[in-house]
A and B are shown apart, each in its own frame.
Chain A
């Protein structure tokens, strides 16, 4: 229960930061995708139905705050990222926060592939073209750079809650 509250709070914070403070960084139109990092963390460390729903709601929140009216677009991408990370987590052993960076980097590409897929196939919209590659790369690098720090924070929060829950005998 406490763990769920931790992730709900983290989700809120992530959406809040992405819609406010992170836009002040001198990164042009790029916004570090903290929600994606949280989604990957859940996929790697919390293979539960609650985490699946958490990822879906994270994507849904991003839709609510940005998707230009297309509800479900990011919810789809985040659910797919969770699924991909969960399936591959059986083969990947992320033993330190630093090794989360490549996982988040690839997850970012999966997310964009999912968005692009829905755009072009499902919504019959024009694709984003070659410029999308540059944006995906920068987006993925930004998320990957921030991933170790966020993983480390979440792990600390998690172990703190676990220590509080289990009194020392």
Chain B
């Protein structure tokens, strides 16, 4: 037996890893998850590097933009050029600081309109895979960010916190095919679920055929999922298609937020569905 294991150790260990993975996945079938002791350690190890890389990228971008601004100047202006590079970098930095300031001020104004307990956070990392749309936030349970909380920006709904460690939280973006936000259309008051889709972009699911929807109609959160407060903008209807069969109609959505461009967000606590009703 032992000699068999030794001889086929790679195959045996591979099979064991496959089985271990399925053991980890298994609770998700019932909507749960296994305790993850290693994940927070991995995040803690990568987090400072992510923050560092982000700072370097931002700095490089400033210098590159400064460089672009100087293309075309003659070589004899080297001294002036370097001075301009410095000033340009400084200007970019200040413009960036001003823009950040403005965004944060607007975010604070927006925050006052939300239920109490909203938390401001920044995006520090993105998903490691094409197949999942998620971002990593710089706030976690120690700041009051917990699993199940909604994430919004000034423009509208961004996603939902799916897991949180003490210092970080992972957000499943609204563009992910496995996400779902309970919404209402603003005029016809039809209900549905907005989720991502790999085929057409975001769609509004489970809208009855009998509902009369119009392109351009705004979608807002219904507040019934207990995740998002009622009335937050999600997007607008871009296409409505009723096929000759099926219970539901096909509705495509233009999201109000481009999740790939968000930097600062608010984590909100929804109100329990019963309270809304």
Decide whether A and B assemble into one complex: yes
| Chain A residues engaging chain B, CB cutoff 8 angstroms | 12, 15-16, 18-21, 23-24, 29-31, 33, 35, 47-49, 51-53, 55-56, 59-76, 79-80, 82-83, 86-87, 112, 115, 118, 122-126, 128-132, 134-135, 139
Say yes or no: A129-B126 contact (C-beta < 8 A), given A52-B17, A71-B24, A76-B18. no
* Residue of A whose beta carbon sits closest to that of B132: A66
Nearest first, the 5 A-B pairs at minimum CB distance are: A72-B24, A131-B199, A76-B21, A131-B198, A66-B127
Say yes or no: A128-B198 contact (C-beta < 8 A), given A19-B50, A31-B130. yes
A68 contact from B18, B178, B197, Cβ within 8 A: B178
Other A-B pairs, 5, CB within 8 Å; known A64-B36, A69-B163: A20-B125, A65-B43, A65-B46, A71-B34, A72-B22
* Residue of A whose beta carbon sits closest to that of B9: A49
Nearest CB of chain B from residue A129's CB, rounded to whole Å: 5
A16 contact from B17, B50, B133, B200, Cβ within 8 A: B50
Tell me whether A65 and B130 are in contact (CB under 8 A).
no
Tell me whether B21 and A75 are in contact (CB under 8 A).
yes
Say yes or no: A66-B128 contact (C-beta < 8 A), given A48-B10, A52-B14. yes
Name B114-162 residues within 8 Å CB distance of A.
Answer: 125-134, 136, 162
A86 contact from B14, B22, B170, Cβ within 8 A: B14
| Chain B residues engaging chain A, CB cutoff 8 angstroms | 9-11, 13-15, 17-18, 20-26, 28-29, 33-34, 36, 38-39, 42-43, 45-46, 49-50, 53-54, 57, 125-134, 136, 162-163, 170, 172, 175-179, 197-200, 260
